[in-house]
Every structure is written in structure tokens, then in C-alpha cells.
Amino acid sequence: MHPSKDIQRLIDIMEALRQPETGCPWDIVQTFETIKPYTLEEAYEVADAIERNDMDDLCDELGDLLLQVVFHARMAEEAGDFSFGDVVEAITRKMIRRHPHVFARSQADTPAAVKLQWSEIKQTEKAERLERRARRGLPEDADKGYLGSVQRSFPALVEALKLQERAAKVGFDWSSPEPILNKIEEEIAELREALASNDKRKVADELGDLIFAVVNIGRHVGADPEMALRGTNTKFRRRFGHIETELGASGESLQEATLERMEGLWQAAKAIERQLT
């Protein structure tokens, strides 16, 4: 078995790994549920490589993500549900259908027109999907109603953003960022009350409300909350790394340093960043 640029080689490798008698003991026992966390992790690692503008890592991480698709497709094929080829056919059919302005005689010459057309086609596809499920005797989708199209499987920040975007389409939205800031202050006050009550369930509830409001203002100002938080995480890593480096240069350890000492180094890291921007 040798490396190849042909996708079939990857499919063959996965088939070999899943062979009950000769395959890999770890791969053989995996299921959709056990692989799911790895799929999510690989998607985040792709996003991280993009954020760092590391094309070498991006190529590698995209390969890891593609492997996840092949893995899931192989397990589905073993169960007689669908194969990798079916996955490719489904997405190519979808892309051709959703771009009639490119592949058929349809007029949509602005981004707004394309978005409207895309939404209309998706609604048609949703109705067809429900009809297929009914013919196969499958239950209706668990989530009904206007917000039912927002997947619960999204990361919480993404789900919150999409719920807000969906509600905004029918006018359930703030008119500007300022009222949301007032809402955030209100939620902070309620979180303080919950903390004072020492009720963990109430604290968690109020914390969720606060985060939801913060996501909302991010949406209003055009800052994707997931990406914004990832940027802050990167910044935190960088500044904390500065603390660790400076302490090490002075013969100190993180465990021995006082909070005041670390805070001073944190502020120094911020000052260095300001000078570089």
C-alpha cells in the first residue's frame, strides 16, 4: 500500500483498517458515536490552522478531516446504509441544484439574490426530505416549528448565533447594539444575585443568559462570537506564555509566583502587544 493523490486509495485504506480479521483493533471497534468527538476535533483543528495562516498545517488538517468523512462513510456502507460514493453524489447534486445561476438558466447576479435563491431551494429540499422519511417509515424530525431548522448538534455558541439569526428574519431582534448592552448589564446583575444566593443551578442559568446576550451583540456588530472567542483564546495563550517565559528567565516557576507578580507580567505582555500594533 502506497500513498496516492487518488481518493480511492484512502477509501481502500479505511476498508483495510476495518477488516474484522486483518484490520486495526482500534479502528474495528469504532462506531459513529465514538468517532463523533474526533470529527468535531478535526474540524476545529482546520479552523485553527486557518486562523494561524499555516498552509502546511491546513493541508494536513484537511486530510485528517477528510479521513473522518471516509471513516463514517465506511461504517455506513458496512451497515448497508450508504457509501462514500453516495456522499459525493449527494453533495454534488445539492451544489448543482443550489446554483442554478451557474449550472442552469437562472438569474441571480448579486450576492443577495444568490442568498435568497439558496434559501428557497433549501426549503424545497427540506420538504422533499420529510417526504422521503415518511416513505421510509422514519419518524418526523424531532424539532418542529420555525427554529427547528437550527441543529442542536452545533457548538453552543454557534447554535445561539443561528437561533438569533433565524429569529431576526421575522423581526424578533434588537434594533441596535445599545439595547443589547443594557441587556448584558441586566444579565450581569442577575448573575450577581444568583451568586449571592449560592444556588448553582440558578448561577448556571443566569450565566447562560449572559453568554447568549453577548453572542447577540457580536452578531449585531458583525463579529462571529466563535471566532472572536478563539482569537481571545490565542491572545490568552500568548500572554500567559510571556508570563511563563519571563518567570523562567528569572529562575521562578508558575507555582511559586504570586498573583501580583503574574499580573505585572501580564500587563507587560499587553504593553508589548500595543507597541507592535
**pLDDT, mean of residues 27-40:** 95
DSSP H stretches of helix in the chain: 7-17, 25-28, 32-51, 55-78, 84-98, 100-103, 111-135, 156-168, 177-197, 200-220, 225-249, 259-276
Q: Which residue has the cell 420538504?
A: 127
Spatial CB neighbours of 147, under 8 Å, sequence gap ≥ 6: 163, 166, 167
Tell me if 13 sits within 8 A of 1, measured CB to CB. yes
What is the C-alpha separation between 269 and 239, in angstroms, rounded? 6
In this prediction, residues 124-153 reach a mean pLDDT of: 76
- Under the banding of pLDDT at 50, 70 and 90, the label for residue 139 is low
Helix, strand, or coil here: 29? Answer: coil
Between CA 168 and CA 174 the distance in angstroms is 8
104 or 82, higher pLDDT: 82
Amino acid 143: pLDDT: 59
Q: How many angstroms separate the CA atoms of 226 and 157, rounded?
A: 6
Closest CA to 166 of 227, 122, 211: 122
> Measured between alpha carbons, how far is 268 from 274 in angstroms, rounded to an integer?
10
Q: Please give the class, per CATH, of domain 7-143.
A: mainly alpha
What lies within 8 Å, CB to CB, of 265 at 6+ separation is 242, 243, 246, 247
Q: What is the pLDDT of residues 38-64, one digit of tens each?
A: 998 999 899 889 988 999 999 999 999
Closest by CA to 272, choosing from 239, 231, 250, 246, is 239
Which residue would you say has higher pLDDT here, 209 or 104? Answer: 209
What would the mean pLDDT of 99-114 be, rounded to a whole number?
82
Which residues, other chains included, contact 195 with Cβ-Cβ below 8 Å and sequence gap of 6+? 203
In this predicted structure, the answer to whether residue 106 has a pLDDT above a threshold of 80 is no
- Measured over the CA atoms of residue 19, residue 65, residue 232 and residue 270, the dihedral's sign is positive
Cα–Cα distances in angstroms (integers) from residue 16 to residues 4, 53, 66, 67, in the given order? 15, 34, 17, 14
- Confidence at 265, pLDDT banded by 50, 70, 90: very high
Give the span between the Cα atoms of 160 and 172, in whole angstroms: 14
Give the residue extent of every domain in the chain: 7-143, 174-223, 226-276
| 3-state secondary structure (DSSP) of residue 107 | coil
